[in-house]
Amino acid sequence: MRVLPSSEQEAILKSRAQTLMIEARAGTGKTTTLAMLAAQEPGVVLGLCFSEGARLRFYEKLALECPGRKVQVLTVEALARSQLTRIAEHGSWLDLPQRWSSLEQMRPMLVAAANAVWQRHAGRYTEFDFDFERSTQRVEMMLQLLAQMKATLATLRFEDEVFDDFTFDELCSQFELDDREIVEIFHEFERRRQPQAGHILWQAPVDYATDLVSILRRFPEAVHDMPQANLLLVDEWHDVNAAEFELLQLFRRQARLVVVGDRHQVINAERGADPRFSGGGFELAFPDAERLPLSQSRRCGVSLKKLLERALPKCGFESHPDTYSEVRHAEYDPSDPQACARAVVARAQELARGPDLAIILREVDQSVEIENALLDAGLPYNCDGFASYLQRPEIMALRALLHVACGDYSTLKADKESCELMVDGLQTYFAVSGERSDYDADHAIYGSGDAYKQQKDAVVRDPETLEFMFSGLLCVEQPYDTGVTRRWKQRLANVLEQMKAQASSASAAQLLQLASDGLDLPAATRRTFVNRAHADSVLRTLRAFLDFARRQGEAKAPAFLEELRRRQVATRGKSGKSGASKALALATVQSAKGREWQQVLLPYMEDGQFPRVTRNAEEFAEERRYLYVAISRAIAGLTLFEPDAAHAAQRSRLLNAVN
């Protein structure tokens, strides 16, 4: 439904400024206003944003405000990726590199770069510890730092012809590093990634914008290969980083530029989002830019405004006099792991609002109990922007172990999706040789094609091939294996043998506990997932899953696998008679950003859950912004689930601290 512009929106629609910044608060109509601007522009419009979720929301608003009008909306990452492909295909500035999709794939390259720098240092005295192979935490921190350097364009300095001691020192001081060896390792890493200018061997998503800026700086004429729009509309401007900021300046050319953002919604600090580009940095780049406000929320009423002010004092949030929202508090006993989920489901049943209702989680691990409670109650739901716990790699890896231990594959027959996810889970979780190329070369059984794909096909054709994944691949020692890898493979083989031996007598929960202890899953998790918060969330998922298995009592592995299968089938979104989904949304704060629902349920408002573990004031401030985003998704009502009076000390500091 189209809406009539407010006076603030009118002012924005009338502005003729070549560069316009809209400074806004949550729910004040940012995306709606961009869609209105698109509707009145006769020329080519390109919408841009910084996350996939924001892109989809932008499309939804366009469909409402300018139906029938074709407007392309891209993430800046996708724009950069497609332009790099175009430049590689049409120009002589770049060979098309291999593309990587995750940080995990960068880990062996970082270890190799560290080893190379260490060898160069041999004989020289240094206190720096170059052994990254065993310390996931250090690799994680290095990769995060490298991503930040890329986002701030600092890595482009490695391309300078004169990269001397002075530049090393400058970078150390810019990133507050005591060890210049870190910069040396990054220098080596980037040199391996790009042996010569324009000859890039591999790219991860964090590279797209930075690499494109590098090419456009060196070959400004390459910009003519890129499409030209008349109007560029950028949503969620608060997420922009330095690389994206410069890219937009280079890419823009004659286009009119309108950006809109809310600095309280920065929950992407690790991607280098920088408030400077909403303040002084923007003014410096665009001295003639006009700034206009969107100050009044069209979504939340005064009670939500009060709550938002408790979560984030001085956020300057204004509610609209015509909007009314109700805030409720529900209590649960936090010593019972299922109590919160039960309370949430009871409230969801009371509201019975289907698609107008969302349960917003701080993190995906909270979904294990909530999903199980929803499934037990027969309430349909859709996981929004994340996979159901039943399909996550860590759970799929454990399920695969159970199948192999008990030799029962019946629930996998004709279930292509689960078979493929299981291979993914095993490769993510239990394969430690690092380089898939080793694996490709050594397992001629799959021929010379894409071994990984063939492995999946083999398991889909015959799920019993999972057994071979362990006995023929994951546990097989190779001549190039390090001592650590060998020990891990022996451990995996031993644990599997023990599980097989006990499968007929032990319950599924006991077998899973054996796997968890025997494989030291916390250590395996930290080794697998480079991001600490991600690893922490995976561990919480595993703990909740083991609890769930224990609640199945004496059920043996085949019965437990059957139960999981039944639940997995039940999660598949069902539509009602009209074709519309009756399912409620199960979202995370990240995936809910920019969205709204009539009713929002916010579970687990307790310390350690929301906020998560916070080590410093910055992390706590980020948790406040997470809460600001979560609360401001509600229109008519919000229910907060908090520990009961007997456990009041555990209630979330975010809402109860003296600010």
Ligand X SMILES: Nc1ncnc2c1ncn2[C@@H]1O[C@H](COP(=O)(O)OP(=O)(O)OP(=O)(O)O)[C@@H](O)[C@H]1O
Q: Per CB under 6 A, does 596 bind ligand X?
A: yes
Nearer to ligand X, 264 or 403 (CB): 264
Q: Per CB under 6 A, does 27 bind ligand X?
A: yes
Q: Per CB under 6 A, does 3 bind ligand X?
A: yes
Q: How many residues bind to ligand X according to rule CB under 6 A?
A: 19
Q: Per CB under 6 A, does 153 bind ligand X?
A: no
Angstrom distances, CA of residue 552 to CA of 112, 329, 541: 45, 32, 17
Smallest gap from residue 380 Cβ to ligand X (A):
24
**Is 191 part of any known ligand binding site?**
no
Angstrom distances, CA of residue 439 to CA of 447, 451, 525, 527: 12, 8, 21, 19
C-alpha angle 39/40/43, rounded to 5°? 95
Nearer to ligand X, 62 or 422 (CB): 62
DSSP string of 115-136, one letter each residue: HHHHHHHTTS--------TT-H
Q: Per CB under 6 A, does 24 bind ligand X?
A: yes
Strands 45-49 and 290-294 come out as unpaired
Smallest gap from residue 31 Cβ to ligand X (A):
4
Q: Per CB under 6 A, does 32 bind ligand X?
A: yes
The angle that helices 617-631 and 302-311 make with each other, rounded to 10 degrees, is 170
551 to 590: interface string for ligand X, x by CB under 6 A:
----------------------------------------
Q: Per CB under 6 A, does 355 bind ligand X?
A: no
Nearer to ligand X, 215 or 587 (CB): 587
**Is 24 part of any known ligand binding site?**
yes
DSSP string of 542-589, one letter each residue: HHHHHHHHHHTTT--HHHHHHHHHHHHHHHSPPB-TTS-B-PEEEEEH
**Is 29 part of any known ligand binding site?**
yes
Give CA 199 to chain center in angstroms: 29
Among 20, 26, 515, 561, binds ligand X (CB under 6 A): 26
Smallest gap from residue 634 Cβ to ligand X (A):
11
Angstrom distances, CA of residue 390 to CA of 34, 265, 540, 567: 38, 30, 14, 8
DSSP string of 286-334, one letter each residue: -TT-EEEEE-B-SS--HHHHHHHHHHSTT---B--TT---EEEEEEE-T
Among 205, 425, 594, 637, binds ligand X (CB under 6 A): 594
CA dist., res. 256 & res. 233, Å (int)? 8
Sites for ligand X among residues 59-88 (CB under 6 A) = 61
| CB proximity list for 170: less than 8 A, separation 6 or greater | none
Nearer to ligand X, 5 or 108 (CB): 5
Nearer to ligand X, 30 or 81 (CB): 30
Smallest gap from residue 550 Cβ to ligand X (A):
40
Q: Per CB under 6 A, does 384 bind ligand X?
A: no
Among 19, 30, 185, 396, binds ligand X (CB under 6 A): 30
Nearer to ligand X, 132 or 626 (CB): 626
Token pair 């405004």 is found at 305
Q: Per CB under 6 A, does 323 bind ligand X?
A: no
Nearer to ligand X, 6 or 228 (CB): 6
279 to 308: interface string for ligand X, x by CB under 6 A:
-------------------xx---------
The angle that helices 76-90 and 242-252 make with each other, rounded to 10 degrees, is 60
Nearer to ligand X, 29 or 334 (CB): 29
Q: Per CB under 6 A, does 29 bind ligand X?
A: yes
**Is 122 part of any known ligand binding site?**
no
Q: Per CB under 6 A, does 428 bind ligand X?
A: no
Q: Per CB under 6 A, does 347 bind ligand X?
A: no
Smallest gap from residue 567 Cβ to ligand X (A):
32
Per CB under 6 A, the segment of 29-37, 82-90, 94-102, 453-461 that binds ligand X is 29-37
434 close to 427: Cβ distance less than 8 angstroms: no
In degrees and rounded to multiples of 5, residue 639 shows phi and psi of -115, 125
Burial class (CB in 10 A: 0-12, 13-18, 19+), 140: buried
Of 361, 360, 300, 330, residue with least CA distance to 640: 330
State the CB neighbour count (10 A cutoff) for residue 271. 20
297 close to 657: Cβ distance less than 8 angstroms: no
Smallest gap from residue 33 Cβ to ligand X (A):
7
**Is 27 part of any known ligand binding site?**
yes
Smallest gap from residue 629 Cβ to ligand X (A):
8
Sites for ligand X among residues 446-465 (CB under 6 A) = none
Q: Per CB under 6 A, does 268 bind ligand X?
A: no
605 close to 644: Cβ distance less than 8 angstroms: no
Per CB under 6 A, the segment of 5-13, 80-88, 189-197, 429-437 that binds ligand X is 5-13
Question: What letter would DSSP give residue 370?
Answer: H
Smallest gap from residue 262 Cβ to ligand X (A):
6
Per CB under 6 A, the segment of 23-31, 88-96, 105-113, 214-222 that binds ligand X is 23-31
| CB proximity list for 444: less than 8 A, separation 6 or greater | none
**Is 25 part of any known ligand binding site?**
yes
Burial class (CB in 10 A: 0-12, 13-18, 19+), 505: exposed
Per CB under 6 A, the segment of 30-38, 327-335, 341-349, 640-648 that binds ligand X is 30-38
Smallest gap from residue 387 Cβ to ligand X (A):
24
Smallest gap from residue 301 Cβ to ligand X (A):
12
Q: Per CB under 6 A, does 489 bind ligand X?
A: no
| CB proximity list for 415: less than 8 A, separation 6 or greater | 565
| CB proximity list for 22: less than 8 A, separation 6 or greater | 12, 30, 33, 258, 259, 260, 261, 291, 292, 293, 294
AA identity, residue 529: F
Cite the annotated binding site for ATP by residue number: 24-31
Binding residues for ligand X, per CB under 6 A? Answer: 3-6, 9, 24, 26-32, 61, 262, 298-299, 594, 596
Cite the annotated binding site by residue number: 24-31
